[in-house]
Amino acid sequence: MTTAADQASLNTLSVGTAGPRIAFLHGLFGQGRNWNQIAKAVSGAEGTDARCLLVDLPDHGRSPWSQQFSLDAYADAVAATLRAVGEGERWTVVGHSLGGKVAMVLALRHPELVERLVVVDIAPKGYGSLERFEGYIREMQALPLAELTSRGDAEARFSEPDPGVKAFLLQNLRRDGQTWRWQVNLDLVAGDAALGVDSRIADWPDDADALPPYEGPVLWVAGGDSRYVKREDGERMRRHFPRTRLFTIKGAGHWVHTDAPEIIVTALRRFVAATDE
């Protein structure tokens, strides 16, 4: 069986030519380029303030697909990619939502790779099911790919009322010749969602609790209007990451970097440059 850990190299996009290395990990149904504007701003106008790597997680974007979801395997696949690109250098790893979980597991399993960690609006815990995403999954499955004539046709047929969510989900639609397909491994995600409260994607791996804590500095960013990070999550977070600093951004929802990009850029620049964290 092919797992994400078997994928030697994930698809990446590089931004910047010099400076500290920063890897960005996206959330479910996303892809590395979701972080593109943030990476450009962090790397600076000349591209010399940071070397950013935008990573497509397994089963997303243009990265290889796996046959079974595993946070451990995702983290190992990212680790292999960072080793290949970084040539021994350590990284600041930034992860949002699912990417935040992958980033945390990466830091716990491969601490030698991670100089600093930024976790965006997610906690090291199980979230139950993928109930919030089930409607999106059904809409994506219902889109008649064989009948589509253009991307505009797909947009017209896709029933999601929120234009931002629609654009986010349809970024996964890719044209190959005369046919259309989903870049994201939709069957895998849908199969995991069907597990209900036992969703592996929404869970936190049991073996992570047995690993030593990550001792590097951690910036934990929460959206003030989001429900993904709660006050009671702090104890668990600091058990795994004792040097955690929580930064809550008022008025931001779960997609914090979309709602408050300038604040995120400033926070990342300060965090990467800090010497006394």
Catalytic positions, please? 97, 187, 254
Q: How far is CA 187 from CA 3, 107, 149, 194, in A?
A: 15, 29, 23, 10
Residue 227: CA count within 13 A, CB half-sphere: 2
Residue 243: what residue type?
R
Going by C-alpha positions, the residue among 37, 34, 66, 61 that lies closest to residue 184 is 61
Q: What are phi and psi of 224, to 5 degrees?
A: -60, -25
Pick the closest to residue 54 from 14, 106, 81 (CA basis): 14
CA distances (Å), 235 to each of 104, 112, 231, 244, 256, in order?
15, 24, 9, 10, 22
